Chains A and B, each alone.
Chain A
């Protein structure tokens, strides 16, 4: 994936957004947009047109599954969530998620999966 790619990080935890931003910044990604709920995620997706979305599932207002239903077919989305149940993973992928990372994650795993998306 090009390091100039704009990445939208959608997670209600400011701590988790920073962790992900730091992991990706370390390998050269520079352009980040952040949001803390599904509504903001949909707004920012439309206005900023990111090349990649890192999406949490359980968020206030609108959750990640609802976001996927709206943008999953067109957007490149990797779900990064604490929810690790097979049913949720299948549902997310069914709505277009390219990959699913369960928290707590390994830094190398995040980088490998982001690089795989092209």
Chain B
């Protein structure tokens, strides 16, 4: 398979569709794909892109298990994370006020399921074997430092990264989640072999 921008975008669209279906099933609500794109950008740009914009945003990440540095990241505004927990627990929106251990587990599992749905689509369409490690939740303050360390293992600072981005919305409850799957230059080299 030729890994052109067109083919990567096709894989991204299929991945986003799968994620949307998974999100709908998890939340028992209709989830819509608002954004589905893939770009090759400088690594610094990629890292900036996945860093959550709000101080109190919730960030969940998993390292990719493919022998190549990469990560899967989900970010949500805090209010949307609380609403998502209510949906997952089949509670009235507004019930959860503070995230407890069980609620954090629910959000991490959401990233786990969404990431794997996306990665499965990528693997099937691009012919790449990729796995996703156990998810972790982190504060927005420490997030960019950690992602920088993960993605930079063996890569130069000026490397490029492939960023797959999906933005999902559960329209009925106005919940928005951004999912990123991020690879650095080593991944590009493997793809081109």
Contacts and interface: CB of A to CB of B under 8 A. Distances in A.
A85 B126 CA distance: 13
B51 interface: no
A87 B130 CA distance: 11
A13 B105 contact: yes
A60 interface: yes
A13 B109 contact: yes
Given A14-B101, A14-B102, A15-B102, A84 B25 contact: no
A83 interface: yes
Given A82-B113, A104-B22, A104-B25, A12 B134 contact: yes
B131 interface: yes
Given A58-B134, A59-B134, 5 more contacts: A15-B105, A82-B116, A83-B116, A85-B123, A103-B109
Contacts of A73: none
Interface string A56-73: 001110000000000000
A75 interface: no
Contacts of B103: 15
Nearest to A103: B113
A16 interface: yes
6 nearest interchain CB pairs?
A: A82-B116, A15-B106, A15-B105, A84-B120, A13-B109, A104-B25
Contact of B131 (A13, A15, A59, A83): A83
Contacts of B131: 58, 83, 88
Nearest to B24: A104
A60 B129 CA distance: 20
B71 to A, nearest CB: 15
Contacts of B169: none
A16 B109 CA distance: 7
A18 interface: yes
B108 interface: yes
Interface in B39-64: none
Interface in B101-126: 101-103, 105-106, 108-109, 112-113, 115-117, 119-120, 123-124
Contacts of B178: none
Contact of B112 (A14, A82, A85): A82
Interface in A1-36: 12-16, 18
B102 to A, nearest CB: 5
B117 A84 contact: yes
